[in-house]
Amino acid sequence: MKTSEKITSLMTALLKFQGQVNKIQKDAKNPHFKSSYASLSKILEETKPVLTECGLVLTQHFDVDVLTTMLCHAETGEFMQSDYPINVKDAGLPQQFGSALSYARRYGIQSILNLSASDDDGQMASNPAQVSKEPIVKEKITMKSTRWKGKTENYVISQIKANKKSDDIINELSKSLELADDVVQFIKDNAGTAE
């Protein structure tokens, strides 16, 4: 990040700005990753009026393969700027370039203004009705699987040696794994028997 020699007035204005801008609501969907994000237009819509009120000017420009985002205090000329490289697999495809540029612009603005977007996970936790009804798929583990040999087997043996009850060990493993009958039987046969 580059800054002018002094940024006192800029920081005062930025502090005022951050006190007036709430979390940016996520208004767009990414079907590929099944996630949502705050679009560039939403970020600009919610920040431009407050930036103007605080005497701040936000600019972005592209040069060769770098996007520069600059925040300037209009009255004093104090500034800070950050550069973000634009990486595109095929520069000859305008859609790829446009997508990469839009991504860089969104994150450049969010970064320099220290913005946060609304938290989907937090919203789901506070409103269980919105939680996905899709079942969580657990990896099935048998005593012949590679997942069993090593870490999981060592964990089970350490729990058996610590005289843990078989049901406790099974319940703990079942939080993240689907246990095959041979694994369950091994735990039941050996739990509590170690000295």
34 pLDDT more than 60 = yes
pLDDT at 192: 61
Which of the two residues, 57 and 192, has the higher pLDDT score? Answer: 57
**Is 118 in contact with 25 (CB distance < 8 Å)?**
yes
- State how far the alpha carbon of 128 is from the alpha carbons of 30, 69, 134, in Å: 22, 39, 13
pLDDT in tens, 38-79: 888 989 999 999 999 999 999 999 887 899 999 999 999 999
The average confidence (pLDDT) of the chain is 82
pLDDT at 56: 97
> How many Cβ atoms sit within 10 Å of the Cβ of residue 93?
11
Residue 152: φ, ψ to 5°: -70, -45
The residue whose two tokens read 């540029």 is 101
C-alpha span between 121 and 131 (Å, rounded)? 9
> How many Cβ atoms sit within 10 Å of the Cβ of residue 91?
12
pLDDT in tens, 70-129: 999 999 999 999 998 887 777 677 888 888 888 889 989 999 999 876 544 334 334 444
Tokens for 114? Answer: 């220290």
Q: Would you say how long the chain is, in residues?
A: 195
Local confidence band at 137 (pLDDT 50, 70, 90 cut-offs)? low
Cα dihedral: 72, 73, 78, 80 (round 10):
-30
The reported pTM is 0.57
Which of 131, 141, 150, 133 shows the shortest CA–CA distance to 174? 141
The residue whose two tokens read 């350490």 is 158
Domain map (residue ranges) of the chain: 2-130, 139-190
